[in-house]
Structure 1
Amino acid sequence: MKKSIAGLVILLSVGMTARSQVKVGFEVSFKEPQAHYVEMEMTISGLAKDYVDVKMPVWAPGSYLVREFAKSVEDFSATAGGKPVKFEKVKKNAWRVYSAKSNAIKIKYRVYGFEVSVRTPFIDESHAFLSSTGIFMYPDGLLKLPSTVKVIPFKGWNKVSTGLEPVAGQPFTYTASDFDVLFDSPIEVGNQEVFDFMASGVKHEVAMYGGGNYDKERLKVDMAKVIEQATAIYGENPNKHYTFIVHNFERGGGGLEHLNSTVLGASRNAYNTPEGYLGFLNLVAHEYFHLWNVKRMRPIALGPFDYDNENYTTNLWVAEGFTSYYENKLVLRAGFVDPKAFVDGLVTAVSNVSNTPGAKVQSAAESSYDAWIKGYRPNENSNNTGVSYYSKGEVVGLLMDLEIAQATKGTKSLDDVMKAMYLQGKTLKRGYTDAEFKAMVEKISGKSFTDFWAKYVNGTHPVEFDKYFGYAGISIKNQNEGSSIPYIGVASKKTEGRIIISAVSRNSAAWVDGLNVNDEVISVDGVGVEAALERMPVIASKKPGDVVTLKVKRDGIEKDIKITLKASPNMKLVAEIQSNAPESQVLVRKGWMGI
């Protein structure tokens, strides 16, 4: 037995030593950025086997869709000692390179990048955005290896912005402690404007590409306010430094969180409008909140990552939905909206979920799990079959927050749950299960949430907005209640002067009487159609139960379809904060809002 154990220890030691001797380095350069290519050179030394498999991730953490990044790889080649060596593609995202008895190999390949998004590489003559999972490969089985990255900017470019740690004395050279860190560190190369500020004891750098009418001095102050409010919830900021990479386009949006950085899409000329500026701060708040929620406090299925396959979890309603909810709380606490605007925004969120037919079909947990096959692959029927884990999760977060505040008379809130779960994960060094999250909510609130989970997490129960807002002395009115608004139940778009049906709502008049997506609507009761159907006077003048005749063209053939109008099922909710609410409700309101 002792000999067997000793032998096992020796084998493990040899294996660990062999891995520790392997070193990986990258050189990133640009020969034809105008054609949207980045040149990659990967050096692997210290090899003990006669071959190594190198892999390209198939997805980017935070964006739950297999994107097959290997499809953009070209001109793969390998050398050892300056001479070509044999290689073969062994999987869709893996190449096997034979070392020819050399302990070091050099791999070269090119990556095409021309998709404008926060999660995919984009290269042109003005800059390069390098989304790391889309350009870096890794040696199979060696994700824990450190690596270095040397960036050689294209001529005329003079700046590199990234969350990676710089190597002292080596310009544009960085190090990653392992491949999880490398894959979580996007890189911006070009002539971006860079400014920085301090917030919560952390230096924050902002790299602005694309210009814009932003006021950087104002942004320094206001972004810091958001950051400090987020840090206050968790009691600590986990970073030494943080990088915002902001892409300003004519029309831009979206963001993707990373370990100590984020990539934001913005509209370059919207910073000087109240709506545009608040929208940007909301985006900052959302992505920054992810520093804790997802990047460190994460569902157990999301770590360690499997970069070859989907990583399924039922908890994206917490990871993303709660983050959407908290962006509202952060801008409120930072002073960018008042309580009325805060409440109005959340009431709109409740209305949107309540008016989504698919919310009666798919639960928050199911939406999370099916993100890989549904969330990023919407079609014309998606609104009828599902609900976004962002929007449903936002509403679940709202209801849960109010329930906790009510149960504790305003002394506790969802803030306390989030902080406790973050600290628990830090101690356990792993992600949480759904049962553990529920247990923490019950511990903080002092009450059972079994019925809540059955209704709102695993079920499709209608949102009881009167009950929950009532806890905080806020009355909600449905302005459509009691009215008989005639309703067909379609969405339409104008294409080359034609009105085309783009969606049909479940159980609507259009659904029952057979209107189809892609039908071209020519007339309603003989009146020509030039805009959205639901707003046509010929329909607005009718009442539910009336019949109208739509002339449509389907696959080039005209036909008349009789539609029996129904009453609109959609709610239009408005809120009023009661100034004379009982003290018990005021306490709940104050504890919930945190102001």
Structure 2
Amino acid sequence: MKPVVPLILTFSGLFSATIQAEVSYRIDLTQPLHHSASVEVNFPKTSSSHFTVNLPVWRTGKYQVLPLADSIRSFSAKDEAGQPLPVVRMASGEWQVGLTQPTAVSVSYQLHANQLGERVAHIDGTHAFLDASGVFVYSPEFRDEAITVSMQVPDSWRSYSGMAKGEQAHSFVGTSYDVLVDSPIETGINHHRQFSADGRDYELVVWGEGNYDLDKMVADLTKLSGQANAIWEGYPFERYVYMVHATSGVSGATEHLNSTIIQRPRFSFRERKDYLGFIKTASHEFVHTWNVKAYRPVGLVPYDYQKENMSELLWLSEGSTSYFQSQLLLRAGVITVKEFFDDLAKRIAKNELTPGREVQSVAEASVNQWSSGDGDYAINHSANIYSEGVLASLALDFSLLDESGLKHSYRDLHKALYRDHRVPAGFDVSDVQQILMKLTGEDYNAWWQTHINSPLSLDFPALLKKAGLKMDYSKDSKSIPYTGMKPDSSLILTQVLRDSPAWNAGIVAGDEIVAINGLKVTAKGFDARIKDFKAGGQIEITLFSDDRLKSVLLTLGEQQSGQLMLKSVKKPSRSQKAFFEAWSGIDWPFDRKGLLKS
């Protein structure tokens, strides 16, 4: 590993180990079996009569208020002489310490850490994952002061973080609480690898056993990590840590300043389709190191840890990250062209089956993200900053390529955001539109109103044709009946799509299917039973609705079987091929017969 370089004030996340810490954290992890730890925090001398101590009510990367402070018990405070100080709980995630004279303040508390799936804090006999938002309190008065974290851990444990190592074993240092809260710690029994790409150092830390191949992971992460210069000029870090949890059930990921935590079911690495889920997630979080961590909308700069951070540009923060994740993997040769096309085709197909896209814009979805849910109402009345954000990004990318004569793309927008609006600055809609005008010479206000401030409606055939592509199904695809409803294993409907045959027949989510045409149906055989009929035909659905038995006549709709695919148009023109290459960053991948080259 290269020597740690001195801090430059860019939120780079890499800090000199010689920093003199002003706020010190100590956590005892030597009794981890019951998910518990003891925490002590020492603050410098303060003159405040009411010293405020906070624990965030949300964690970065998840735009949702969480009950993080519920994991804290036995909260107490002392002055510099070790005498108890009065503490009053003021709100969720806030304590007020009463002072009669200037003094340093020490607070201590018991932490219960069993939120693995939330990627906040998890402690057991094999490891501890510590995201400061759910572990370490802070005082707004000393938020910008340097910090140090010291840990007492079992002898066999090894500790890693995006922060620089401290002078003692199992300790880390940073320049502020903001660095601490965005630099999670993984300590325990784990696998560790180091590698380099494009002049930067990387680490892979894996906790948990599973069917992963460390050599393959390192090889592909090396290729991915070397592709950053396809979008941005420069790096916001010198060292980056990929943390991976191979777990029993939970999955997800969170981006941080110079690291990420990725969780996957422990036996979901070997099969190609499963491994693609992992490597796409790794790419997504890597992109976030720039987009969200190095530059983000003004509503999120600086982070306010005690309330929602609103922005109408979350679709750009999240959707464009999802959009770029496969592009970088394609350029790196980690995924094939077919896998790249399949991913985009699935997103288009999902969009077509999301009625909420006709109701809510991506701008409104961004503002509503903090209170958004899932389920039947969401899919019928809401857009998604990730799913629809990808397609809004696609539309904007193609518009930029069109308007600039292939000289500029969506990558150039993000390059400019990183160059000119890096944290602690931020950017708003007018900043984005000004960049678009500089790149194309065109005013994007009308485009923005149509595609961003209004529900997104795209003509995908016309859009894809620009890049010489068309949508199609396999030769064995056929028309099959369609109901628009989705039952769970108990035949209770979890989803009824708006304006679908089931919706128009008066069937609603929560209804329980009993029979079709008077014959009992099972959850396992539901789809097969529907296929016994023809599109346009009528069937009788018997169901319980609010515990009342009723029968409903349903006229079956029509849909195409099989998976949507992207193929080459017949006789693509030179301009279409050039558009594809400017968009994707790779050569035209089809032969003269329209087949993908090997």
Q: Contact conserved, 1:405 with 1:411, CA < 8 A, in 2?
A: yes
- Match of 1:204, SS state, is strand
Counterpart pick for 1:515 among 507, 518, 529: 507
Within-5 A mapping of 1:155-170: 155-168=154-167, 170=168
Deviates more, 1:309-318 or 1:241-250: 241-250
Alignment CA distance shift 1:306-1:417 (3 Å): same
Distance 1:583 1:519 in 2: 54
d(CA) in 1 for partners of 2:66, 2:51 = 24
8 Å contact kept, 2:480–2:561: no
| Counterpart code for 2:78 | T
1: CA distance, partners of 2:474 / 2:519 = 30
SS at match of 2:114: coil
| Unmatched 5+ stretches in structure 1 | 1-20
The answer for the alignment partner of 1:243 in structure 2 is 241
Instruction: String of CA shifts for 1:360-381, please: whole Å, max 9, x gaps.
Output: 011111111100011xx32332
Q: Say which SS state the counterpart of residue 553 (structure 1) adopts.
A: strand
User: What is the distance in 2 between the residues matched to 1:97 and 1:141?
Assistant: 13
User: What RMSD in Å do the two structures reach over aligned CA positions?
Assistant: 2.5
Whichever residue aligns with residue 237 of structure 2, its letter is: N
**What's the offset of the Cα at 1:192?**
1.3
2:579 aligns to what?
588
Does structure 2 conserve the Cα–Cα contact (< 8 Å) formed by 1:157 and 1:189? no
Query: Quick one: structure 1 residues 538 and 326, their matched pair in 2 at CA, closer, same or farther if it must change by over 3 Å?
Result: closer
1:291-323, Cα deviation, whole Å (9 max, x unpaired): 111111211111101111100001111100000
The aligned counterpart of 1:57 is: 56
- Residues 298 and 427 in structure 2, CA contact (< 8 A), matched pair in contact too: yes
Q: 1:434 to 1:533 in 2, by over 3 A?
A: farther
Q: Kindly tell me: are residues 234 and 547 of structure 1, through their superposed partners in 2, closer, same or farther at Cα, counting changes over 3 Å?
A: same
Aligned to 1:79: 78
Q: Contact conserved, 1:59 with 1:133, CA < 8 A, in 2? A: yes
- For the residues of structure 2 that align with 1:63 and 1:571, how far apart are their CA atoms? 34
Moved more, 61-70 or 574-583: 574-583
- 8 Å Cα contact 2:127-2:157 kept in structure 1: no
**Worse-superposed segment, 270-279 or 414-423:** 270-279
Which deviations, in whole Å up to 9, do the C-alpha atoms of 1:65-114 show, x marking residues without a partner? 01031122111111222232211112222111134536222211112221
Decide whether the 8 Å contact of 1:55 with 1:138 is kept in 2: yes
5+ residue gaps, structure 2, are: 1-19, 587-598
SS in 2 for 1:494: coil
1:211 has 2:209 as partner: yes
Shift of 1:563: 2.4
Change (3 A) 1:250 1:579: farther
Amino acid at match of 1:388: N
> Structure 2: how far apart are the matches of 1:458 and 1:479?
36
- Quote the offset at 1:485 in angstroms: 4.3
Paired residue type of 2:138 = Y
CA distance in 2, matches of 1:45, 1:219: 43
Counterparts in 2 of 1:351 and 1:300: CA distance versus 1, 3 Å: same
Match of residue 393 from structure 1: 389
Residues 511, 569 of structure 1: alpha-carbon distance in 2 compared, 3 angstrom cutoff:
farther
Which residue type is aligned with residue 239 of structure 2?
Answer: H
Query: Residue in 1 aligned with 2:468?
Result: 473
The equivalent of 1:113 in structure 2 is 113
Structure 1 segment 225-236 matched on structure 2, within 5 A: 225-236=223-234
Secondary structure at the aligned position of 2:41 is classed as strand
Alpha-carbon distance, 1:478 to partner? 7.1
1:535 to 527, 533, 536: 527
Higher helix share: 1
Note the C-alpha offset of 1:248: 0.5
Q: Which amino acid aligns with 2:567?
A: E
C-alpha separation in 1, matches of 2:298 and 2:102: 40
d(CA) in 2 for partners of 1:220 and 1:97? 48
Q: Is the 8 A contact 1:492 1:501 kept in 2?
A: yes
1:396-444 alpha-carbon deviations (Å, 9 max, x no partner): 1112212222333333211111111110113x85111112112212321
Code of the aligned partner of 2:196: M
Q: Which amino acid aligns with 2:460?
A: F
2:347 maps to what in 1? 349
Bigger mean CA deviation after superposition, 552-561 or 294-303:
552-561
Residue of structure 2 equivalent to 1:29: 28
- Show the counterpart of 1:46: 45
Query: 1:572: how far off?
Result: 6.5
- Alignment counterpart, residue 187 of structure 2, candidates 185, 189, 195: 189
Give how far 1:157 is off.
4.0
**1:458 is aligned with what amino acid?**
N
Q: What code does the residue aligned with 2:469 have?
A: I
Do the aligned residues in 2 keep the contact of 1:200 with 1:237 (CA within 8 Å)?
no
CA apart distance, 1:236: 1.2
Structure 2 residue 550 is matched with structure 1 residue 559: yes
**For 1:283, what is the secondary structure of its paired residue?**
helix
Deviation at 1:483, TM superposition (A): 8.0
Q: Distance in 2 between matches of 1:571 and 1:327?
A: 25
**Would the aligned equivalents of 2:209 and 2:266 in 1 still touch at CA under 8 Å?**
yes
Q: Hey, what's the Cα distance between the residues in 2 that align with 1:136 and 1:266?
A: 26
Q: Is the 8 A contact 1:193 1:207 kept in 2?
A: yes
Please list, as runs of the form range in 1=range in 2, the aligned pairs for 1:219-368 lying within 5 A after superposition: 219-368=217-366
Residues 118 and 264 in structure 1, CA contact (< 8 A), matched pair in contact too: no
